[in-house]
Structure 1
Amino acid sequence: MEYLDFEKPIQEIQDQYVNCVLIEKKSGINMKEICNQLQLKLEKTIKKLHSNLTPWQRVQLSRHPNRPYTLDYIHSITKEDSFIELHGDRHFSDDKAIVGGFGKIEDHTFMLIGTQKGKNTKDRQYRRFGMPNPEGYRKALRLMKLAEKFEKPIITFIDTPGAFPGIEAEERGQGEAIGKNIYEMMCLKVPIIVLIIGEGASGGALGIGIGDKVSMMENSWFSVISPESCSTILWGSRDHKEKSAEALKLTAGNMHQLNLIDEVIKEPLGGAHFCPKKAYKLVKKQIIKHYKQLSEINIEFLIKKRKNKYISIGFFDE
């Protein structure tokens, strides 16, 4: 387990607990009472630290290297061997930063689509750190249209630092691909459930982020720009990223208060990376709950409701 700077008190107690268990195994001395005390101290320390996290600390947690990614959720919440990954945009190539395919959750078939980061250096390069190219968004739209054809609900998982910013992506129509996805998702004749499980940055997130129900994990964020980029634009350096994170109101709590999302998914004690299995169960429960609610609504009314939801966001003067 890797620990962030502000998680060092947790690491110290965790190391003491592990040493206590090892001493008991090697020496045969009964250390249960001390181990129990350390376990209680660990829980109290985690609760104390996580009860007053700053926006920047939540951004750090959303990027934690041990945090579950899209494919972790998909393989954990779908029935064994039921997920069939589909590839390619039928125009240019298969973007590895976006994954998608049909899978079964309980007795229901869904189209599951999401941005995928890598777990090591080689995999991160392969996945382009979860930053999609235009063909990734076109693949996502192709799969959504396929889901619509077979009348299957759509689930999208968002965890991206943004769309890929390279010149070649712009040459192939990055903005057009994202814009088209937003436009088409407004009118898809199937329920759409959106889950922000980590980073939700800029158009990179919006390209698969339009839904009837939008939920955020407790330690995720959703914003037009990352705190570092915001700090660089306003102050000429990344040194004010903490101040930027506070001003951007990007946390799940902020998003819910502003009525930009529907629900916040409470994470296990210490975050999703501390107990991924609990995180999977919570996400699965949320999906089933939202699917049952949405499946009872007439599809034409659902589309109208979806459009009004996004039209009503923000204020403007003519």
Structure 2
Amino acid sequence: MEYLDFELPIKELQEQYEKACAIGEESDVDVSNTCKQIEKKLSDTKKDIYKNLTPWQRVQLSRHPNRPYTMDYINAICGDSFLELHGDRGFKDDKAMVGGLGKIGDQSYMFVGQQKGYNTKTRQYRNFGMANPEGYRKALRLMKSAEKFNVPVVCLIDTPGAFPGIEAEERGQGEAIARNILEMTRLKVPIIVVIIGEGASGGALGIGVGDRVLMLENTWYSVISPESCSSILWRSWEFKEQAADALKLTATDMKKQKLIDLIVKEPIGGAHANREKTFTTVATAIEKEYATLKDLSPKDLVESRMEKYFNMGVYKG
């Protein structure tokens, strides 16, 4: 188990608890009361720490190396029913963007999302979750296929941004993302977006237009990362914590600004602390949101979606 800086008090108590239990098992000494006291203190410390997280600490949790990624959610939710689909039919198959058909219960969905790697080799293979233009074109191809067969779309967002390399720009990165945003606004099937980790910049927006946009509790959604914001405004990454606070990028901030529809609660300690519970919660949220959309006609669906985004950023004096 890996611990972040602000989780070190939890690590110390966890080690104390394990040592106390080990002493009890290896000797005749009764340490049950001691174990109970440490366990209670550990539980209270966890609640106190995770109840008062700063925006930067939530950013750190969203990047936790043990946090589940898109394919973890899909495999857990869909099981053997998932069929991955590949390629944009124009250039190649982008490994940073994954997608395919899967079922939650008896309902089929088209899943699309960014996939990060688990170690150095797979991170390079997945390009650190940063999709090229062909990734967004693959996503659009899958969404248009879903529309053709009247299958709802589920987008799982977890990316530090679209790939900013020269070759990506040469192949039309900006156009690919803009095309996705345009096409998603008028897609005639329900679109449910779930931000499961990092939701950065146009890389997130490229698959982020939905009838319902959900954010897990310890995720972030912003036009720029705190580090990049800090480097632009202060010419240094040292002010990333202030930047995270100023950007208002947490799920709570997004909900207050009416940019998302629902905050999905995570287990204490984050999504990685209890993966199975997280998967079940997300699957239930998707089913619940789809139930509110499935009876809408394509016309009403598109009109409602467009109205939702037209109203963003509009204020009456």
* TM-score after normalising by structure 1: 0.97
CA separation in 2, counterparts of 1:21 and 1:93? 54
- Render the CA deviation track for 1:170-229: whole Å, top value 9, x for unaligned: 000000000000000011111000000110000000000000000000000000000000
Structure 1 counterpart of 2:246: 247
CA separation in 2, counterparts of 1:31 and 1:288? 46
CA separation in 2, counterparts of 1:307 and 1:61? 32
Structure 2 counterpart of 1:289: 288
- Structure 2 residue 87 is matched with structure 1 residue 88: yes
CA separation in 2, counterparts of 1:251 and 1:125? 28
Q: Say how many residue pairs are matched.
A: 316
Structure 2 counterpart of 1:101: 100
- Structure 2 residue 193 is matched with structure 1 residue 194: yes
CA separation in 2, counterparts of 1:56 and 1:274? 19
Structure 1 counterpart of 2:109: 110
- Structure 2 residue 3 is matched with structure 1 residue 3: yes
Letter in 1 for 2:107: H
- Any gaps of 5 or more consecutive residues in structure 1? none
Structure 2 counterpart of 1:147: 146
Identity %: 62
Measured after TM superposition, the shift of residue 29 of structure 1 is 4.3
- Render the CA deviation track for 1:14-69: whole Å, top value 9, x for unaligned: 11122233333333544333222222211110110111111111111100111111
Structure 1 counterpart of 2:53: 53
Structure 2 counterpart of 1:268: 267
Letter in 2 for 1:64: H
- Structure 2 residue 208 is matched with structure 1 residue 209: yes
Three-state SS of the structure 1 residue aligned to 2:41 is helix
CA separation in 1, counterparts of 2:219 and 2:118? 18
Question: CA 1:236–1:40 in 2, change beyond 3 Å: closer, same or farther?
Answer: same
- Render the CA deviation track for 1:54-88: whole Å, top value 9, x for unaligned: 1111111100111111111111111x311011111
CA separation in 2, counterparts of 1:155 and 1:30? 52
Measured after TM superposition, the shift of residue 2 of structure 1 is 0.4
Measured after TM superposition, the shift of residue 272 of structure 1 is 0.8
CA separation in 2, counterparts of 1:289 and 1:306? 18
- Structure 2 residue 11 is matched with structure 1 residue 24: no
Letter in 1 for 2:88: D
- Structure 2 residue 277 is matched with structure 1 residue 278: yes
Three-state SS of the structure 1 residue aligned to 2:198 is strand
Letter in 1 for 2:52: N
Structural RMSD (CA): 1.3
Three-state SS of the structure 2 residue aligned to 1:68 is coil
15-24 or 141-150, larger mean C-alpha shift: 15-24
Letter in 2 for 1:19: K
Measured after TM superposition, the shift of residue 9 of structure 1 is 0.3
Measured after TM superposition, the shift of residue 100 of structure 1 is 0.5
237-246 or 19-28, larger mean C-alpha shift: 19-28
CA separation in 2, counterparts of 1:199 and 1:76? 20
Letter in 2 for 1:81: D
CA separation in 1, counterparts of 2:22 and 2:80? 38
- Render the CA deviation track for 1:148-187: whole Å, top value 9, x for unaligned: 1111000000010000010000000000000000000011
Measured after TM superposition, the shift of residue 259 of structure 1 is 0.3
CA separation in 1, counterparts of 2:45 and 2:160? 30
164-173 or 268-277, larger mean C-alpha shift: 268-277
Structure 2 counterpart of 1:35: 35
Question: CA 1:30–1:109 in 2, change beyond 3 Å: closer, same or farther?
Answer: farther
Three-state SS of the structure 2 residue aligned to 1:274 is helix
Structure 1 counterpart of 2:306: 307
Question: CA 1:101–1:29 in 2, change beyond 3 Å: closer, same or farther?
Answer: farther
CA separation in 1, counterparts of 2:197 and 2:75? 17
- Structure 2 residue 237 is matched with structure 1 residue 228: no
CA separation in 1, counterparts of 2:20 and 2:295? 53
Letter in 2 for 1:53: L
CA separation in 1, counterparts of 2:272 and 2:28? 32
195-204 or 268-277, larger mean C-alpha shift: 268-277
Structure 1 counterpart of 2:14: 14
Letter in 1 for 2:46: I
Structure 1 counterpart of 2:68: 68
